[in-house]
Amino acid sequence: MTLPKLKASQFTSDITPIWCPGCGDFHVLMSITKALANLGRPPEEIAVISGIGCSSRIPAYTNCYGFHGVHGRSLAVAAGLKVARPDLTVMAMSGDGDGFSIGGNHFLHACRRNVDMTYVVMDNRIYGMTKGQPSPTTEPDWDTALSPGGTGLSPFHPLVIALASGANFVAREFSGNIKACTQTIKQAVEHPGFSFVQILSPCVTFRPDEKEWKTQVHDASVPETDDPARAARRIMTDDGMNVGVLFRGDRKPYFASVRDGKRDLAPLEKAFEI
């Protein structure tokens, strides 16, 4: 089957983003729309679900179906939608605060459940929208007025957590590498099951130091693997800045039997009729 030729502009809405000039999220938006165009599915067959945060504004800036929802709950909404409408391509978009603080527990169980959808987290190691509080991925010695002397807390490691919790595709990219981000997002969407992509996306306003990320990111020294033990060994030496696909597994997605039409939900729906 020949796929229709689509352009990224067909996936962009007419709402102008209100992100700060230079915010990494602009690049993520470009990569998302390019990846969606390359998939060959029209915008009305795609749903983009988010929580709350600067990063979570993304659904409004795409032309797909979207839901800018409740802080930390993008995965619950996205999983419910995918199970109810398996024909749609479902993407959940989040930030490090939304996804790993208030939404942390949902992250674990979304990886474990392995519903066929893609989770993109724009990680700027800060709560950008609420003006710069430390997040779970903030370095322990990051010293500001809101965290005098640093939090002293060990940072959350999203790739380790995703791998240990059962995600079927795990990757990290840098927002400024639009080509690599586009390719990885497309692969994540095409891979069955729960795919997780952490995108290092600088907050130029509250973390100007992150402008240096473009000189600090580097390709991972070890290629991607389908072996969780090898992937785990690679991330034990992770410096937080290596990019690329880490792991591509072969777990069967949750509810595949429903998608194949083998389970009849009508009796259950009838039982709950009011």
Ligand X SMILES: Cc1ncc(C[n+]2csc(CCOP(=O)(O)OP(=O)(O)O)c2C)c(N)n1
Written as six digits, the tokens of 169 are 């595709």
Please, what is the Cα angle at 124 between 74 and 7, to 5 degrees?
65
CA–CA gap between residue 124 and residue 117 (Å, rounded) = 23
Strand partners, 94: 121
Per-position DSSP letters for 224-263, written without gaps between them: -BS-HHHHHHHHHT--S-EEEEEEE--PPPTTHHHHTT-S
Interface pattern 19-48 for ligand X (x via CB under 6 A):
------------------------------
Residue 174 interacting with ligand SF4 (CB under 6 A) = no
Tell which positions 119-138 bind Mg ion, by CB under 5 A.
124, 128
Amino acid identity, residue 176? G
Residue 128 interacting with ligand SF4 (CB under 6 A) = yes
Q: What is the DSSP letter of 269?
A: H
Residue 93 interacting with ligand SF4 (CB under 6 A) = no
Count of residues of this chain found to bind ligand X when the rule CB under 6 A is applied: 18
**List of residues 6+ apart from 274 with CB closer than 8 A:** none
Residue 124 interacting with ligand X (CB under 6 A) = yes
Closest CB to ligand SF4 among 56 and 168? 56
Interface pattern 135-174 for ligand X (x via CB under 6 A):
x---------------------------------------
Count of residues of this chain found to bind Mg ion when the rule CB under 5 A is applied: 5
Residue 128 interacting with ligand X (CB under 6 A) = yes
Q: For CA atoms 23, 29, 35, 37, give the dihedral sign.
A: negative
Nearest in space to 67 (alpha carbons), one of 43, 51, 88: 51
80: helix, strand or coil: helix
Closest CB to ligand X among 114 and 124? 124
Q: State the binding partner of 187 from Mg ion, ligand X, ligand SF4, none, CB within 5 to 8 A by kind.
A: none
Closest CB to ligand X among 13 and 133? 133
CA–CA gap between residue 57 and residue 30 (Å, rounded) = 14
Tell which positions 18-47 bind ligand SF4, by CB under 6 A.
19-20, 23, 25
Q: Report whether 158 contacts 100 (CB < 8 A).
A: yes
Closest CB to ligand X among 49 and 203? 203
Residue 54 interacting with ligand X (CB under 6 A) = yes
Interface pattern 196-225 for ligand X (x via CB under 6 A):
-------x----------------------
Q: Report whether 94 contacts 51 (CB < 8 A).
A: yes
Q: For CA atoms 11, 14, 15, 16, give the dihedral sign.
A: positive
Binding site for ligand SF4 (CB under 6 A): 19-20, 23, 25, 54, 124, 128-129, 203-206
Binding site for Mg ion (CB under 5 A): 95-97, 124, 128
Binding site for ligand X (CB under 6 A): 52-55, 71, 95-98, 122, 124, 126-130, 135, 203
